[in-house]
Chain A
Amino acid sequence: AQSVTQLDSQVPVFEEAPVELRCNYSSSVSVYLFWYVQYPNQGLQLLLKYLSGSTLVKGINGFEAEFNKSQTSFHLRKPSVHISDTAEYFCAVSDRLNKFYFGSGTKLNVKP
């Protein structure tokens, strides 16, 4: 079975500062990795995904993530955040059946 751990439930950060949201996964087989963002009262939107190839993946809104197989991690980063990045971020893995497993989420709160 697959599981996803997001250790930080909340991350406060000032505008224009860098941020890293951590994600670790557990799987006995190869998986695909995703980050989704959720704004209040909305569904989830894809930020980026890793399928294979280069371990550094770039997504929308200036976000990027790095796949680290040895550490089973897929941390999300942004060098300079904006107020509009305030949202909840979910890390997810999908297995060979294309079922998705989500972490419990990290609320990013960008302060002016």
Chain B
Amino acid sequence: DTGVSQNPRHKITKRGQNVTFRCDPISEHNRLYWYRQTLGQGPEFLTYFQNEAQLEKSRLLSDRFSAERPKGSFSTLEIQRTEQGDSAMYLCASSSGGDGTGNTIYFGEGSWLTVV
């Protein structure tokens, strides 16, 4: 078990460019979550998947954000036309089980995005 893996760990991009982050969950975890964390704040929910199905998207996620989880394994989070306000750490987490299980979610080390 190698844990949740995220890459790249750091990304600096110019405003207006597109960026994509990848998350590889713990193997056989069927739930995958994306969170965003800014300095001095706790993680904010963005979206989550049960296998390949996207269950919910937060209102924080504008149309410039899209997440996919083809085949229910790894996931990608793409941000189009980046803005300076997108600068944050993007955290991926995974868990086993489904609704009402109280299962722990396990986090990756995050992907830092800086938009200049």
- Identify the A interface with B (CB < 8 A): 4, 6, 9, 32, 34, 36, 41-46, 49, 51, 90, 92, 94, 96-105
Contact = CB atoms under 8 A, between A and B. Distances in A.
A11 B4 CA distance: 30
Given A43-B107, A98-B101, A101-B45, 18 more contacts: A34-B104, A41-B109, A41-B112, A42-B110, A43-B93, A44-B91, A49-B104, A90-B43, A94-B105, A96-B100, A97-B100, A99-B45, A102-B35, A103-B42, A104-B41, A105-B40, A105-B41, A105-B42
B59 to A, nearest CB: 12
Contacts of B106: 46
Chief secondary structure at chain B's binding surface: loop
Contacts of A98: 31, 95, 97-103, 105
Contacts, number: 69
Interface residues of B, number: 31
A90 B42 contact: yes
Contacts of A97: 55-56, 99-100
Contacts of B4: 43
Interface of B: 4, 31, 33, 35, 40-45, 48, 55-56, 91, 93, 95, 97-110, 112
Contacts of B40: 9, 104-105
Contacts of A101: 45
A32 B95 CA distance: 15
A90 B97 CA distance: 23
Contacts of A105: 40-42
